[in-house]
Protein backbone atom coordinates (compact mmCIF):
# COMPACT_ATOMS: atom_id res chain seq x y z
CA UNK A 1 0.00 0.00 0.00
CA UNK A 2 2.91 2.35 0.70
CA UNK A 3 4.13 1.53 -2.82
CA UNK A 4 0.84 2.80 -4.24
CA UNK A 5 1.19 6.08 -2.36
CA UNK A 6 4.77 6.62 -3.53
CA UNK A 7 3.70 5.84 -7.09
CA UNK A 8 0.81 8.32 -6.84
CA UNK A 9 3.03 11.15 -5.60
CA UNK A 10 5.68 10.46 -8.25
CA UNK A 11 3.01 10.43 -10.96
CA UNK A 12 1.36 13.61 -9.76
CA UNK A 13 4.74 15.33 -9.61
CA UNK A 14 5.41 14.21 -13.20
CA UNK A 15 1.95 15.37 -14.37
CA UNK A 16 2.16 18.79 -12.70
CA UNK A 17 5.76 19.40 -13.84
CA UNK A 18 4.99 18.55 -17.45
CA UNK A 19 1.73 20.56 -17.36
CA UNK A 20 3.77 23.56 -16.18
CA UNK A 21 6.12 22.79 -19.07
CA UNK A 22 3.20 23.08 -21.52
CA UNK A 23 2.44 26.56 -20.20
CA UNK A 24 6.01 27.81 -19.75
CA UNK A 25 7.98 26.65 -22.81
CA UNK A 26 8.08 29.40 -25.43
CA UNK A 27 8.56 26.92 -28.26
CA UNK A 28 5.31 25.19 -29.30
CA UNK A 29 7.01 21.86 -30.15
CA UNK A 30 8.41 21.55 -26.61
CA UNK A 31 4.97 22.33 -25.19
CA UNK A 32 3.47 19.55 -27.31
CA UNK A 33 6.09 17.04 -26.16
CA UNK A 34 5.34 18.02 -22.53
CA UNK A 35 1.64 17.49 -23.28
CA UNK A 36 2.40 13.88 -24.31
CA UNK A 37 4.11 13.27 -20.92
CA UNK A 38 1.09 14.76 -19.11
CA UNK A 39 -1.40 12.63 -21.04
CA UNK A 40 0.54 9.41 -20.40
CA UNK A 41 0.77 10.35 -16.71
CA UNK A 42 -3.01 10.82 -16.63
CA UNK A 43 -3.34 7.38 -18.25
CA UNK A 44 -1.23 5.94 -15.40
CA UNK A 45 -3.51 7.67 -12.85
CA UNK A 46 -6.47 5.99 -14.59
CA UNK A 47 -4.65 2.66 -14.18
CA UNK A 48 -4.28 3.33 -10.45
CA UNK A 49 -8.05 3.95 -10.30
CA UNK A 50 -8.77 0.56 -12.01
CA UNK A 51 -10.15 2.17 -15.17
CA UNK A 52 -8.37 -0.24 -17.50
CA UNK A 53 -10.33 0.45 -20.65
CA UNK A 54 -9.87 4.20 -20.25
CA UNK A 55 -6.09 3.72 -20.01
CA UNK A 56 -6.08 2.19 -23.48
CA UNK A 57 -8.44 4.86 -24.84
CA UNK A 58 -6.39 7.66 -23.30
CA UNK A 59 -3.13 6.40 -24.82
CA UNK A 60 -4.63 5.64 -28.25
CA UNK A 61 -6.97 8.63 -28.69
CA UNK A 62 -5.16 11.39 -26.78
CA UNK A 63 -1.45 10.55 -26.87
CA UNK A 64 -1.84 8.83 -30.24
CA UNK A 65 -4.30 10.74 -32.37
CA UNK A 66 -4.88 14.20 -30.91
CA UNK A 67 -1.27 15.02 -30.05
CA UNK A 68 -0.09 13.81 -33.46
CA UNK A 69 -2.64 16.15 -35.05
CA UNK A 70 -1.39 19.05 -32.88
CA UNK A 71 2.26 18.26 -33.71
CA UNK A 72 1.37 18.10 -37.40
CA UNK A 73 -0.21 21.57 -37.27
CA UNK A 74 2.66 23.03 -35.20
CA UNK A 75 5.20 21.80 -37.75
CA UNK A 76 3.03 22.88 -40.69
CA UNK A 77 2.63 26.47 -39.54
CA UNK A 78 6.26 27.50 -38.81
CA UNK A 79 5.45 29.57 -35.72
CA UNK A 80 7.54 32.21 -34.05
CA UNK A 81 8.72 31.73 -30.47
CA UNK A 82 6.86 33.74 -27.89
CA UNK A 83 8.98 35.82 -25.56
CA UNK A 84 8.17 35.18 -21.92
CA UNK A 85 8.49 38.90 -21.22
CA UNK A 86 5.58 39.71 -23.55
CA UNK A 87 3.26 37.38 -21.66
CA UNK A 88 3.28 39.38 -18.44
CA UNK A 89 0.39 41.83 -18.56
CA UNK A 90 -2.07 43.18 -16.00
CA UNK A 91 -4.78 40.80 -17.19
CA UNK A 92 -2.66 37.66 -16.97
CA UNK A 93 -1.25 38.55 -13.51
CA UNK A 94 -4.79 39.21 -12.23
CA UNK A 95 -5.94 35.85 -13.62
CA UNK A 96 -3.04 33.95 -12.06
CA UNK A 97 -3.62 35.57 -8.64
CA UNK A 98 -7.37 34.81 -8.75
CA UNK A 99 -6.86 31.18 -9.75
CA UNK A 100 -4.15 30.58 -7.14
CA UNK A 101 -6.34 31.98 -4.37
CA UNK A 102 -9.24 29.81 -5.57
CA UNK A 103 -6.91 26.80 -5.47
CA UNK A 104 -5.82 27.52 -1.91
CA UNK A 105 -9.44 27.99 -0.82
CA UNK A 106 -10.39 24.65 -2.41
CA UNK A 107 -7.84 22.43 -0.60
CA UNK A 108 -9.33 22.38 2.95
CA UNK A 109 -12.83 21.97 1.51
CA UNK A 110 -11.84 18.84 -0.41
CA UNK A 111 -9.94 17.29 2.49
CA UNK A 112 -12.85 17.91 4.86
CA UNK A 113 -15.64 16.59 2.64
CA UNK A 114 -14.01 13.51 1.09
CA UNK A 115 -12.61 11.16 3.75
CA UNK A 116 -10.72 8.09 2.58
CA UNK A 117 -12.91 5.39 4.17
CA UNK A 118 -15.72 5.30 1.60
CA UNK A 119 -13.47 4.31 -1.29
CA UNK A 120 -14.96 1.40 -3.26
CA UNK A 121 -13.41 -0.54 -6.10
CA UNK A 122 -15.10 -0.99 -9.43
CA UNK A 123 -13.21 -2.40 -12.40
CA UNK A 124 -13.73 -0.44 -15.58
CA UNK A 125 -13.07 -3.29 -18.00
CA UNK A 126 -14.21 -3.25 -21.62
CA UNK A 127 -17.13 -5.64 -21.08
CA UNK A 128 -18.88 -3.65 -18.34
CA UNK A 129 -18.26 -0.32 -20.06
CA UNK A 130 -19.54 -1.73 -23.36
CA UNK A 131 -22.73 -3.05 -21.76
CA UNK A 132 -23.36 0.35 -20.19
CA UNK A 133 -22.47 2.24 -23.39
CA UNK A 134 -24.80 0.20 -25.61
CA UNK A 135 -27.54 -0.10 -22.98
CA UNK A 136 -28.14 2.86 -20.70
CA UNK A 137 -26.16 5.39 -22.77
CA UNK A 138 -27.12 4.24 -26.27
CA UNK A 139 -28.81 7.53 -27.18
CA UNK A 140 -25.78 9.54 -26.03
CA UNK A 141 -23.57 7.20 -28.07
CA UNK A 142 -25.59 7.91 -31.22
CA UNK A 143 -25.45 11.66 -30.53
CA UNK A 144 -21.67 11.32 -30.18
CA UNK A 145 -21.44 9.69 -33.60
CA UNK A 146 -23.44 12.61 -35.07
CA UNK A 147 -21.03 15.01 -33.37
CA UNK A 148 -18.03 13.25 -34.90
CA UNK A 149 -19.52 13.36 -38.40
CA UNK A 150 -20.36 17.07 -37.98
CA UNK A 151 -16.81 17.77 -36.76
CA UNK A 152 -15.32 15.81 -39.67
CA UNK A 153 -17.31 17.73 -42.29
CA UNK A 154 -16.68 21.03 -40.49
CA UNK A 155 -12.94 20.42 -40.38
CA UNK A 156 -12.84 19.60 -44.10
CA UNK A 157 -14.91 22.68 -44.95
CA UNK A 158 -12.73 24.97 -42.79
CA UNK A 159 -9.41 23.59 -44.02
CA UNK A 160 -10.48 23.90 -47.66
CA UNK A 161 -11.61 27.52 -47.27
CA UNK A 162 -8.84 28.99 -49.42
CA UNK A 163 -9.61 26.77 -52.41
CA UNK A 164 -13.29 27.71 -52.59
CA UNK A 165 -12.60 31.42 -52.10
CA UNK A 166 -10.03 31.46 -54.93
CA UNK A 167 -12.53 29.64 -57.15
CA UNK A 168 -15.18 32.26 -56.36
CA UNK A 169 -12.67 35.00 -57.12
CA UNK A 170 -11.91 33.44 -60.49
CA UNK A 171 -15.61 33.13 -61.25
CA UNK A 172 -16.22 36.72 -60.21
CA UNK A 173 -13.28 37.82 -62.38
CA UNK A 174 -14.57 35.94 -65.44
CA UNK A 175 -18.06 37.35 -64.81
CA UNK A 176 -16.80 40.93 -64.95
CA UNK A 177 -14.92 40.22 -68.17
CA UNK B 1 -4.28 3.57 0.03
CA UNK B 2 -4.45 6.93 -1.72
CA UNK B 3 -7.47 8.93 -0.51
CA UNK B 4 -10.00 10.32 -2.98
CA UNK B 5 -9.12 13.89 -1.94
CA UNK B 6 -5.58 13.43 -3.29
CA UNK B 7 -6.97 12.65 -6.75
CA UNK B 8 -9.31 15.64 -6.56
CA UNK B 9 -6.49 17.98 -5.54
CA UNK B 10 -4.34 16.69 -8.42
CA UNK B 11 -7.29 17.29 -10.73
CA UNK B 12 -7.84 20.82 -9.45
CA UNK B 13 -4.13 21.73 -9.71
CA UNK B 14 -4.04 20.44 -13.29
CA UNK B 15 -7.22 22.37 -14.14
CA UNK B 16 -5.75 25.58 -12.69
CA UNK B 17 -2.52 25.16 -14.66
CA UNK B 18 -4.60 24.74 -17.82
CA UNK B 19 -6.74 27.79 -17.01
CA UNK B 20 -3.63 29.89 -16.27
CA UNK B 21 -2.21 28.79 -19.61
CA UNK B 22 -5.37 29.87 -21.42
CA UNK B 23 -5.19 33.27 -19.71
CA UNK B 24 -1.46 33.87 -20.13
CA UNK B 25 -0.38 32.38 -23.46
CA UNK B 26 -1.04 34.11 -26.76
CA UNK B 27 -0.21 31.37 -29.25
CA UNK B 28 -3.55 29.80 -30.27
CA UNK B 29 -2.11 26.27 -30.48
CA UNK B 30 -0.73 26.46 -26.93
CA UNK B 31 -4.10 27.80 -25.73
CA UNK B 32 -5.69 24.78 -27.40
CA UNK B 33 -3.25 22.43 -25.60
CA UNK B 34 -4.11 24.10 -22.28
CA UNK B 35 -7.79 23.38 -22.96
CA UNK B 36 -6.80 19.72 -23.42
CA UNK B 37 -5.09 19.88 -19.99
CA UNK B 38 -8.32 21.19 -18.44
CA UNK B 39 -10.36 18.40 -20.05
CA UNK B 40 -7.90 15.83 -18.67
CA UNK B 41 -8.18 17.31 -15.18
CA UNK B 42 -11.95 16.90 -15.35
CA UNK B 43 -11.46 13.31 -16.56
CA UNK B 44 -9.34 12.48 -13.50
CA UNK B 45 -12.06 13.73 -11.15
CA UNK B 46 -14.75 11.83 -13.12
CA UNK B 47 -12.85 8.55 -12.70
CA UNK B 48 -12.11 9.27 -9.03
CA UNK B 49 -15.80 9.92 -8.32
CA UNK B 50 -16.72 6.78 -10.24
CA UNK B 51 -14.51 4.84 -7.81
CA UNK B 52 -15.95 6.69 -4.82
CA UNK B 53 -19.52 5.77 -5.70
CA UNK B 54 -18.73 2.30 -7.00
CA UNK B 55 -20.49 3.14 -10.26
CA UNK B 56 -19.22 3.04 -13.86
CA UNK B 57 -21.27 6.01 -15.12
CA UNK B 58 -18.37 8.40 -14.48
CA UNK B 59 -16.11 6.38 -16.77
CA UNK B 60 -18.74 6.58 -19.54
CA UNK B 61 -18.70 10.37 -19.05
CA UNK B 62 -14.91 10.31 -19.56
CA UNK B 63 -15.52 8.40 -22.78
CA UNK B 64 -17.81 11.16 -24.06
CA UNK B 65 -15.37 13.87 -22.96
CA UNK B 66 -12.75 12.13 -25.12
CA UNK B 67 -15.17 12.11 -28.08
CA UNK B 68 -15.77 15.84 -27.65
CA UNK B 69 -12.02 16.46 -27.31
CA UNK B 70 -11.32 14.60 -30.55
CA UNK B 71 -14.02 16.56 -32.39
CA UNK B 72 -12.69 19.80 -30.88
CA UNK B 73 -9.14 18.93 -31.97
CA UNK B 74 -10.21 18.43 -35.58
CA UNK B 75 -12.31 21.61 -35.82
CA UNK B 76 -10.01 23.75 -33.65
CA UNK B 77 -6.88 22.92 -35.62
CA UNK B 78 -8.73 23.55 -38.90
CA UNK B 79 -9.73 26.98 -37.54
CA UNK B 80 -6.10 27.66 -36.52
CA UNK B 81 -4.93 26.73 -40.05
CA UNK B 82 -7.56 29.07 -41.53
CA UNK B 83 -6.40 31.85 -39.15
CA UNK B 84 -2.78 31.36 -40.20
CA UNK B 85 -3.74 31.38 -43.87
CA UNK B 86 -5.56 34.69 -43.54
CA UNK B 87 -3.21 36.60 -41.25
CA UNK B 88 0.15 34.69 -41.25
CA UNK B 89 0.01 34.49 -37.46
CA UNK B 90 -1.72 32.49 -34.72
CA UNK B 91 -1.33 35.03 -31.91
CA UNK B 92 -4.72 35.50 -30.28
CA UNK B 93 -4.07 39.21 -29.71
CA UNK B 94 -3.91 39.80 -33.48
CA UNK B 95 -7.55 38.74 -33.90
CA UNK B 96 -9.23 41.43 -31.81
CA UNK B 97 -11.47 43.13 -34.39
CA UNK B 98 -14.67 41.93 -32.76
CA UNK B 99 -13.53 43.04 -29.30
CA UNK B 100 -15.89 45.47 -27.61
- Boundaries of every domain in chain B: 27-88
- d(Cα A98, Cα A102) in Å, to the nearest integer? 6
Q: What percent of chain A has pLDDT over 90?
A: 38
Q: What is the mean pLDDT of residues A36-43?
A: 95
Q: Hey, are the CB atoms on B10 and A38 less than 8 Å from each other?
A: no
- d(Cα A145, Cα A61) in Å, to the nearest integer? 15
- d(Cα A130, Cα A57) in Å, to the nearest integer? 13
- What pLDDT is attached to residue A99? 83
Q: Is the pLDDT of residue B11 over 70?
A: yes
pLDDT classification of B82: cutoffs 50, 70, 90: confident
HEC string for A84-108: HHHHCCHHHHHHHHHHHHHHHHHHH
> Which residue, B31, B6, B45, is CA-closest to A4?
B6
Q: Hey, are the CB atoms on B26 and A86 less than 8 Å from each other?
A: yes
Q: What is the pLDDT of residues A57-106, one digit of tens each?
A: 999 998 888 999 999 998 888 777 777 666 677 777 888 888 888 888 87
Residues 110-149 of A with CB under 8 A from B: 110-111, 114-116, 118-122, 124, 128-129, 132-133, 136-137, 140, 144, 147-148
Distances (CA, A) of B99 to A9, B89, B91: 43, 18, 15
Q: Is the pLDDT of residue A149 over 90?
A: yes
> Which chain A residues contact residue B90 at CB under 8 A?
77, 79
**CA closest to B88 among chain A residues:** A77
Distance between A176 CA and the closest CA of chain B, angstroms = 25
Within an 8 Å CB–CB cutoff, is residue A14 touching chain B?
no
Q: What is the pLDDT of residues B45-70, one digit of tens each?
A: 999 989 888 888 999 999 999 999 99
According to CATH, what is the number of the domain B27-88?
Answer: 1.10.287.3510
Within an 8 Å CB–CB cutoff, is residue A154 touching chain B?
yes
Question: How many CA atoms lie less than 13 Å away from A125 in the CB half-sphere?
Answer: 4
Question: What end-to-end distance do the CA atoms of chain A give, in Å?
Answer: 81
Amino acid sequence: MIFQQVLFYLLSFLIIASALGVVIFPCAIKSTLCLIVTLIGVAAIFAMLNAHFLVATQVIVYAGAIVVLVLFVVMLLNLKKEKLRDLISFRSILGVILLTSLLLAFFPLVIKHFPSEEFQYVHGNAEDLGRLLFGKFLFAFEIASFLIIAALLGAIALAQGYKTSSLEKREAGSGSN
Amino acid sequence: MVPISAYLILSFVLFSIGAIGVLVRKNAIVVFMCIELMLNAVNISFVAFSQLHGNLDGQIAVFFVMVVAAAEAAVGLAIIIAMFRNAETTETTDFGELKF
